[in-house]
Structure 1
């Protein structure tokens, strides 16, 4: 049975970085303890923050990340026979963004799938690609995670004085960024992805993040008359309470699916920011496990420099770790994605085989 090997990655974030001082100018300050708890120092937006004008798009960012990943892998777009895209902020309800990327890549015929499970989406996509490759259905796969969140949050501050913006409405501006990451997989003989794990454990628990508007939940005329066409609600307290539970279960489930112990891994990618905050929260929630103890010093992400970017987080951070030489051939990497909208997670372990890229390819997109 062939194995699904990661042979290249690529990342893209639009425009210049926007630091916290700039966000404060637009929406007002956050309490210092809240700001430090977010652990985010900058983010990137595809909009002009002064005017709200779009300088890019969801599918445009996905295309740029895909091109970079394909170039690094040494693969032509025509060789891809499976394309999976994860996003919660597509250009349109239909057609799917994955098919817009397919068109821009010039691929006439390819199997395509689109996933909407937020931060868990890219890890979901990797496990689906693994299944297709192992079963011989596909040989070369492209998995993309992309998010365009800034258009939804810009109305909070455009044409509104900062002192008039409520504290809960300021939070998303400090948290979220835009971007895309892509991962190329190819059938190989050894190493690569192990069987993954996924679960939605929200049940009757209310969403931690809720993007309301633009769908079919209410009459469109009624939505048009509302104050905001899209209202992004974030339950910061709820997310802080339940995310450690979700992450702890995700790690345990992922390692079990791979038949491994935490000590068998070299790195664990979890896009949740400050690992110290996570460990403290787990202790308080009583969900700290032996797996977490064994991973001390081996958890990484790049949240502080990218902002929270949903489906793009896992592939963006994986690309950063690989290009910077942190992830090297022979390393075993546990990849965990979690999503607070309805409390979902997905995880997968990769026995890394891709050589470290040349220094010239390490410059950020």
Structure 2
């Protein structure tokens, strides 16, 4: 088995950063009214700026595959061209279409010759799943390099126009024309962007990150869906897919809007997350003292203290001074967030040779968790 190194990192964040005061104007009002949930959600998540692939006029500037292509282009120069990529592994939870796959569309924009592609789906863990596929391919010697990405273009799922027919339907039933909190909640949480890693079987340049191991855990066998799109959850927890609804209900119930069951989220995301973290650390026989930089993807600063307290309760406390996050500046970019954190940590100039980095990514869709342990070379 070969060693695997992250030798180059890149990000692409579309357009100018959008602050809290202008984000609703950019996304569009629902029923001409400001959201009652917006200030509550923003006060808890503490995100100050985020990025949208839509301009001031509401026009789309990039689709998801284009965002990803731009991030990959940032990996390339005269010494490593797009044509040199041997494998392309692209994770996302917001692909531009059902078919073709996301990686196929990215490859189409790259136009860099024949190569293997892989398209993990899901939510935040899809970016880590993309990384693991590339990691395993390089490690077993199938390829000498792989480009892995995480990306989201979620803004177009959250614009006010998405909910117009549902509002009209509610009014026709003489019900309050207010979007349910489980739909409105995520409008103030999510952002657009893409991150990319180049993996190679040898270190390169002044700084590379050796991937020591990766682990993934799912609790879907015991947990119902928490975050979902393209369906609606029934009273018994069963997730009924869009394909089983009459077509006229697709827009009347905003079936393709992304939704979050916040009650299930709060009760389980931290407990299951730390349980899986503890499992990964015990499996690989590492302790908190062997982690120099901890990069936890969290959707909101609301969970930060709770995560720390749960780690302490389960005996895997990682001191605050080892934590690194950039959620406040770039927003929650789902599968791309961990890529953006690694890029931000490298850009900070804090890393020293021999240090260890732990990447931690939760996914609330049905409670999955992914980890990676890196050495600075």
TM-score tier after normalising by the smaller chain length: 0.7 to 0.9
Unaligned runs of 5+ in 2: 169-175, 233-240
> Which residue number corresponds to residue 238 of structure 2?
none
2:129 alignment partner in structure 1: 124
CA distance in 1, matches of 2:295, 2:14: 23
Which of 308, 311, 315 is 2:335 aligned to?
A: 311
The CA deviation at 1:126 is 2.3
Correspondence for 2:316: 291
- Residue 178 in 1 paired to residue 192 in 2? yes
The answer to whether the 8 A contact 1:4-1:130 is kept is yes
Residue 220 and residue 257 in structure 1: after superposition, are their counterparts in 2 closer, same or farther (change >3 A)? Answer: farther
CA distance in 2, matches of 1:20, 1:157: 21
Alignment of 1:232 with 2:238, yes or no, is no
Deviations 1:25-77 (A, max 9, x none): 544344766432212112211124653x3111000000011111234x95222
Partner SS, residue 243 of structure 2: coil
- State the secondary structure of the residue aligned to 2:88: strand
Unaligned runs of 5+ in 1: 354-365
| Among candidates 136, 140, 147, match of residue 135 of structure 1 | 140
- CA distance in 2 between counterparts of 1:88 and 1:15 reads 21
- Aligned-partner SS, 1:75: coil
2:212 is the alignment partner of 1:194: yes
Write the distance in 2 (CA, Å) between the matches of 1:151 and 1:336.
27
Cα deviation, residue 191, structure 1: 6.8
Instruction: Select between 252-261 and 147-156 the one with higher mean Cα deviation.
Output: 252-261
1:39 matches 2:46: yes
User: What is the aligned partner in structure 2 of residue 17 from structure 1?
Assistant: 17
Residue pair 1:258, 1:349 contacting (<8 A) in 2 also: no
Corresponding residue of 2:225: 207
Of the three residues 349, 354, 364, the one matched with 2:373 is: 349
CA distance 1:256–1:67, shift in 2 (3 Å)? farther
Shift of 1:210: 1.1
Distance in 2 (alpha carbons) for counterparts of 1:31 and 1:109:
46
Change (3 A) 1:225 1:210: closer
Q: Does 1:56 align with 2:62?
A: yes
User: Could you tell me how far apart the structure 2 residues matched to 1:297 and 1:30 are?
Assistant: 32
For the residues of structure 1 that align with 2:194 and 2:216, how far apart are their CA atoms? 22
Describe the SS at the equivalent of 2:332.
coil
Deviations 1:95-148 (A, max 9, x none): 112122222222221111111132112222222222211211111010100111
Residues 228, 258 of structure 2: 8 Å contact kept: yes
Instruction: Point out the structure with max Rg over C-alpha.
Output: 2
Task: Give per-residue Cα distances to partners, 1:246-300, cap 9 Å, x unaligned.
Answer: 32123223323443222111111111166684333564x68733322x3332121
Match of 1:80 in 2: 85
TM-score, structure 1 normalization: 0.85
